[in-house]
Amino acid sequence: MTRIVLACMLALKCLSVSADVLLIEEIRQAEHMELPKNAQSKAEVKARYGAPVKIIAAVGDPPISSWKYANFTVYFEHERVLFSVLHAGAVIEK
C-alpha cells in the first residue's frame, strides 16, 4: 500500500514539474513578442495591431477599457495603454 501511495505522489510531482517547464517556456517566448507598450495611445495600438476582436467599454473612475485581440488583451486608462496581457496558452500551441 505504501508503495502505491509513493508511486502516486511521485507521478504527481513529475506532472507538476512538467507544467512548470511549460510555463517558463511560455514566459520566455512571451518576452520576445511585441505587445503594446505602456502609455501608447489607442490610435497607435490600432495602427500597429489593427482593429481588436472585441472592445469592452470603460468602467470606473478613472475609466478603464479594454481591447481584446486573438492572443492578448490591452487595458487602457482614458486613451493610454496601462498594460497588455497575453491570453493563457497564447504563445505555445498545445
Q: What pLDDT is attached to residue 17?
A: 47
Q: What pLDDT is attached to residue 10?
A: 55
Concatenated DSSP letters of 5-70: HHHHHHHHHHHHHHHHHHHHHHHHHHHTS-PPPTT-BHHHHHHHH-S-SEEEEEETTTTEEEEE-S
Nearest Cα residue to 79 out of 32, 46, 43: 43
| Rg of the chain taking only CA atoms, in angstroms | 19
Q: Three cell numbers at 20?
A: 512548470
Q: What pLDDT is attached to residue 90?
A: 75
Cis peptide leading into 52, omega within 30 of 0?
Answer: no
Q: What pLDDT is attached to residue 64?
A: 96
pTM: 0.68
Q: What is the mean pLDDT of each run of 10 residues along the chain (94 residues)?
A: 54 51 63 86 97 97 96 95 86 58
Q: What pLDDT is attached to residue 16?
A: 47
